[in-house]
Amino acid sequence: MNILDKITLDKRKEVTLRKGLIPVSQLEQSVLFESPTISLANNLRHSKSGIIAEHKRRSPSKSVINNELNVQDVAKGYEDAGVCGMSVLTDGKYFGGSLDDLLTARASCQLPLLRKEFIIDNYQILEAKAYGASVILLIAAILSRDEIKQFSEFAKSLNLDVLLEVHNEEELHKSIMPSLDMLGVNNRNLKTFEVSLDTSKNLSKLIPDDFVKVSESGISNIEAIKTLQPYGYQGFLIGENFMKTENPGHSATQFIKDLER
């Protein structure tokens, strides 16, 4: 069983548990549920840098990245740096995140927030909305075509943007549908954890231009972005690069300045 299968199995148990604790009606009555969302896809279309910066404490491939920082400072720092959006890991067991991180980020900045999570149930999409996200992530590797359709259409009904992540051609072909806003190509092989930008390059020509193209994983320098921009990529998810420094906001500021030179 690979890491993704393991996470998904644990996630099913976790969601069943959460549903028993907090009913849907309670999520729908939360203060943030009716608040307007900011479109990450629009921000990326009109940006020179296209940076989506992440808050991530640890990961299965890297163990601890940074446990010292508080979400509030990171969110404010990213906003001051001029990123297009912020990705917030909400998985606890494998990434050390939580829905409270999302709530704190929402209270600290005006950026579009992506709930970075392993979504296998509509309930998690309601949670995303209730805790202040503007965007959800769907991972093609763990979902059927029907599930992608159902979850993406449900997200759109809540005015949430949808970023769908693929790793290969097969996942891409089963996923393309009008209810998606962005198509993300993950350059990390989830079975081996190896990272190659060739994945983004090879899949770029298969992604229709109606979708904003986002490249994820292994983007740690300006060169990587400059290499991918000619392939039509407008979004770049940067996970560990900023978080492994003492001041992610400052690192992001410097990175964007250098990129826009």
At 190 the pLDDT is: 74
Where does the pLDDT of residue 237 fall: very low under 50, low under 70, confident under 90, or very high at 90 and above? very high
Active site residue 54: yes
Pick from 183, 190, 162: which is nearest to 231 by CA? 183
Active site residue 201: no
Domain locations along the chain: 3-260
Interval 186-197 mean pLDDT: 86
Q: How far is it, in rounded angstroms, from Cα 129 to Cα 230?
A: 34
pTM metric for this prediction: 0.96
At 152 the pLDDT is: 98
* Catalytically annotated residue among 11, 43, 56, 66: 56
At 60 the pLDDT is: 79
Active site residue 108: no
Whole-number mean pLDDT of the chain? 95
DSSP 142: G
* Catalytically annotated residue among 152, 216, 241, 251: 216
* Residue 91, token pair as written in the block: 């998985």
Active site residue 186: yes
Interval 178-182 mean pLDDT: 98
At 162 the pLDDT is: 98
Q: Tell me the per-residue pLDDT of 252-261, one tens digit each, with 9 for 90 and over.
A: 999 999 999 8
Active site residue 149: no
* Catalytically annotated residue among 43, 66, 79, 116: 116
What angle do helix axes 71-81 and 248-260 make, rounded to 10 degrees?
20
Q: Tell me the per-residue pLDDT of 201-232, one tens digit each, with 9 for 90 and over.
A: 999 999 999 999 999 999 999 999 999 999 99
* 47 pLDDT more than 80: yes
* Catalytically annotated residue among 43, 217, 241, 251: 217
Where does the pLDDT of residue 63 fall: very low under 50, low under 70, confident under 90, or very high at 90 and above? confident
At 251 the pLDDT is: 97
* Catalytically annotated residue among 87, 134, 186, 241: 186
Q: How far is it, in rounded angstroms, from Cα 32 to Cα 129?
A: 7
Q: What Cα–Cα distance (Å) separates residue 234 from each residue in 49, 92, 114?
A: 8, 30, 16
CA dihedral 123, 126, 127, 128 (to 10 degrees): 120
Where does the pLDDT of residue 27 fall: very low under 50, low under 70, confident under 90, or very high at 90 and above? very high
Active site residue 153: no
Three-class SS of residue 247? coil
Question: Residue 52: in which H helix or E strand, if any?
Answer: strand 51-55
Active site residue 116: yes
In DSSP notation, 62-80 reads TEES-SS--HHHHHHHHHH
* 157 pLDDT more than 90: yes
Sorted by sequence, the CB contacts under 8 Å of residue 87 that are 6+ apart come out as 52, 53, 54, 55, 56, 113, 114, 116, 137, 237, 239
Q: Tell me the per-residue pLDDT of 71-95, one tens digit each, with 9 for 90 and over.
A: 999 999 999 999 999 999 999 999 9
CATH fold of the domain at 3-260: TIM Barrel (3.20.20)
